[in-house]
Amino acid sequence: MVRRRRFLGRGDDQGSGTVLLLALVAVTLVVAALLGLLGSAQLGRGRAQTAADLGALAAASRLLAGQPGDPCPTAAEVVRRNGARLSSCTDEGAGVVTVRVAVRGPAGSATASARAGPTSARR
């Protein structure tokens, strides 16, 4: 009868490297997914801020050009063309307009606001 010799240190630890490697891969995938979600949220926030800035500037430019009527439809059109939804638009007088927008994305909804007008109307 041939007996197998057990080497010191191998015994019950055989295969544990595979389990550790699988755990490391799982942790890496979770971290990568979280970073992707964070990047997506940041991208949505940037898109929302860009749309709000451009919408407010377009509406304020309309007022400063002396065009009659409500500037908010102009803001709404610019915001829509930038992939956002106009939440509110306020003509504060003196050529100042405040715009609030929302953008839906994979990471949820991002909101932003912007205020535009002449430098003489600073707060």
Q: How far apart are CA 115 and CA 60, in angstroms?
A: 9
pLDDT per residue over 57-108, tens digit each?
A: 999 999 988 888 899 999 999 999 999 999 999 998 888 999 999 999 877 8
pLDDT per residue over 54-64, tens digit each?
A: 999 999 999 98
* pLDDT confidence of residue 90: 94
Residue pair 117/90 in contact (Cβ under 8 Å)? The answer is no
For tokens 């304020």, the residue is: 60
Domain limits, the chain: 17-121
**pTM summary value:** 0.72
Q: How far apart are CA 77 and CA 56, in angstroms?
A: 11
Q: How far apart are CA 33 and CA 29, in angstroms?
A: 6
- φ/ψ (deg, to 5) at 84: -125, 175
Return the number of other C-beta atoms located less than 10 Å from residue 83's C-beta.
Answer: 15
